[in-house]
Amino acid sequence: MREPVAAALWLNFVMLLATLSLLSVPVMAPVIAADLGLSPTFLGTYIAALWASSMITSVTAGSLIARYGAMRVSQGVLLGCAAALGCAGFFGTVWALVPAAILIGCAQGAETPASSALLARITPRAQQTIIFSLKQTGTQLGGMIAGVAFPLALAVMSWQAALLTSMAVLVLAAISLEGPRRRFDHARGSHGHAASVGFRQACTLLLNDGRLMRLAILAFSFVAVQVCLNTFLVAYLVAERHLPIAVAGPLLAAAQVGGLAGRLGWGLVSGRYVRASHLLGALGVGMLVCSAAIGLYGTVMPVAALGLLAFLFGLTASGWNGIHLAEISHILPPQDVGRMIGVIFIIGTCGIVLGPLVFSAIATRVSFATAYVVTSGWALIGLITLVWPAKKSAVR
Q: Considering the chain, what is the average pLDDT of its residues?
A: 87
Residue 69 is part of a domain; what is its CATH number? 1.20.1250.20
Q: Can you tell me the distance from the alpha carbon of 48 to that of 82, in angstroms, rounded to the nearest whole number?
A: 20
| Prediction pTM value | 0.76
| Structural domain of 355 | 2-387
Which residues are CB-neighbours of 16 under 8 A, at least 6 positions away? Answer: 138, 139, 141, 142, 145
Beta partners for 270? Answer: 274
Give pLDDT, residue 132.
83
The answer to whether residue 394 sits within a structural domain is no
Number of structural domains, the chain? 1
Across 152-161, 211-220, 338-347, the highest mean pLDDT is recorded for 152-161
Q: Is the pLDDT of residue 142 over 70?
A: yes
Give the mean model confidence (pLDDT) for residues 198-221.
Answer: 79
In a 13 Å sphere around the CA of 336, the CA atoms on its Cβ side amount to 21
The answer to whether residue 290 sits within a structural domain is yes
Q: Can you tell me the distance from the alpha carbon of 286 to that of 280, in angstroms, rounded to the nearest whole number?
A: 10
Helix, strand or coil, per DSSP, at residue 274: strand
Give pLDDT, residue 198.
59
The answer to whether residue 171 sits within a structural domain is yes
The answer to whether residue 294 sits within a structural domain is yes
Give pLDDT, residue 393.
56
The answer to whether residue 393 sits within a structural domain is no
The answer to whether residue 377 sits within a structural domain is yes
The answer to whether residue 112 sits within a structural domain is yes
Where is pLDDT greater, at 343 or 297? 297
Give the mean model confidence (pLDDT) for residues 366-391.
Answer: 88
Q: Is the pLDDT of residue 188 over 50?
A: no
Which contiguous run of DSSP H or E holds residue 279? helix 276-297
Q: Is the pLDDT of residue 19 over 50?
A: yes
Where is pLDDT greater, at 321 or 187? 321
What are the tens digits of pLDDT across the range 86-104?
Answer: 999 999 999 999 999 999 9
Kindly indicate the confidence band of residue 195, based on its pLDDT and cuts at 50, 70 and 90: very low
The answer to whether residue 392 sits within a structural domain is no
